[in-house]
Amino acid sequence: MKFVDEANIKVLAGDGGNGCISFRREKFIPFGGPDGGDGGFGGSVWLVADEGLNTLVDFRHQRSFKAKRGENGMGSQMYGKGGDDTTIRVPVGTMITNVDTDEVIGDLTNHGQRMLVAQGGKGGLGNIHFKTSVNRAPRKSTPGTPGEARELKLELRLLADVGLLGFPNAGKSTFIRAVSAATPRVADYPFTTLVPNLGVVSLGVDQSFVIADIPGLIEGAADGAGLGIQFLRHVARTSLLLHLVDIAPVDGIDVAGQVRAIEQELAKFNPELLERPRWLVLNKADMLDEDERKEVAEQIIAELGWTEPWFLVSAIARENTMNVCQHVQRFFESQRDASIERVDMLPNDVRLRNEEPRD
């Protein structure tokens, strides 16, 4: 299935039904009075997150969605039937933006989560509502109000705990194959990864996390060069970034310079990504001798002035890859413990207020 992570759709809620002008006419009741009912409410348009979907490709074929109109009111004080709602299924992780105002109006991050994107119109009033002491036979009703119409931009952002960054052919796909059951395409030439890949790393009972591999970045990516920049949105939700680097490039490229180049592209795309925890993973250690690899790694770290954790691995030989994953798991466990500790430090009245279930 083709991976599509952006789509524009138009949604139109149903109009409300019109109110009815009618009078009660029965034998022996010459002055029955007004009995026109109200129009029904128009149907609304909803988006619902479905974990069974993983792409927005369906919206390439259908771009317009319309809910049904409410029925008009009828005599004998009969109200019109309300229009049926229209429900649109989208993948979990879909962010919704109003195209006209460029405002983010919702983010569906949980399975079954629903969001109203177009409200149906209200039904009009029948003439039964306009009877007064001086006007006992009103010939007045109101039309239903129109339903809302919007153009929406749907943007899929994968839900992952860890995001892999790096230049093409840095070994990101090989790394995710080594630590998870994901099987992205791997080859000895750049740009083999054309779409994001997700893998679940399982280290034991209740010890797992999701890792995302995105297409490689190149210099000038933030200005439209290459493929990876259009997929950087998929690491926007991650809590930790693993920056993979080829420690022994065959063309003699400056490794530290590559790291700085990626940092510049991240800063252009979204400066907040640079503030996120980012660990350096020096890959392809098998290309160097035992003594040489450590010396080269320490030289790169010194040149960068790197203060965050770093690792020396060989993804293709699966050497030291699980050690990286164990450190990542401990990172998430420490985050969870810190979050629990912050809750425990709250005053009792605040903690209870936060824990009260909402209606």
- pLDDT class for 223, splitting at 50, 70, 90? very low
Mean pLDDT of 80-102: 91
pLDDT attached to residue 17: 94
**The pLDDT value given to residue 226:** 46
pLDDT tens sequence across 269-300: 778 878 888 899 998 888 888 888 888 888 89
| Rounded-to-integer distance, Cα 329 and Cα 334, Å | 9
Name the percent of the chain in helix, strand, coil, to the closest 5.
25, 25, 50
Number of H helices, E strands in the chain: 6, 14
Start and end residues for every CATH 2.70.210.12 domain found in the chain? 6-156
Does pLDDT of 229 surpass 80? no
Spatial neighbors of 162 by CB under 8 A, at least 6 apart, are 201, 209, 210, 211, 212, 238, 239, 240, 241, 242, 328
Write out the two tokens for 332: 């998430």
Question: How crowded is residue 33: how many other Cβ atoms within 10 Å of its Cβ?
Answer: 13
pLDDT range class, residue 225, cuts 50, 70, 90 = very low
Q: Which pLDDT score is estimated for 342?
A: 54
User: Are the C-beta atoms of 141 and 23 separated by less than 8 Å?
Assistant: no
* CATH class of the domain whose range is 6-156: mainly beta
CATH code of 162-344, in short, is 3.40.50.300
Mean predicted confidence (pLDDT) in 211-226: 57
Mean per-residue pLDDT of the chain: 81
Order of strands across the sheet with 45-50? 86-91, 45-50, 114-118
Task: State the Cα–Cα distance between residues 36 and 41, nearest whole angstrom.
Answer: 16
Of 121-125, 247-251, 340-344, the range with the lowest mean pLDDT is 340-344
pLDDT at 188: 47
Residues of the chain with CATH 3.40.50.300: 162-344
What average pLDDT does the segment 235-251 reach?
82
Report in angstroms the alpha-carbon separations of 188 from 169, 184, 221, 255, 333.
Answer: 7, 13, 22, 19, 36
From residue 71, how far is each of 37, 43, 60 by CA, in Å?
Answer: 11, 11, 32
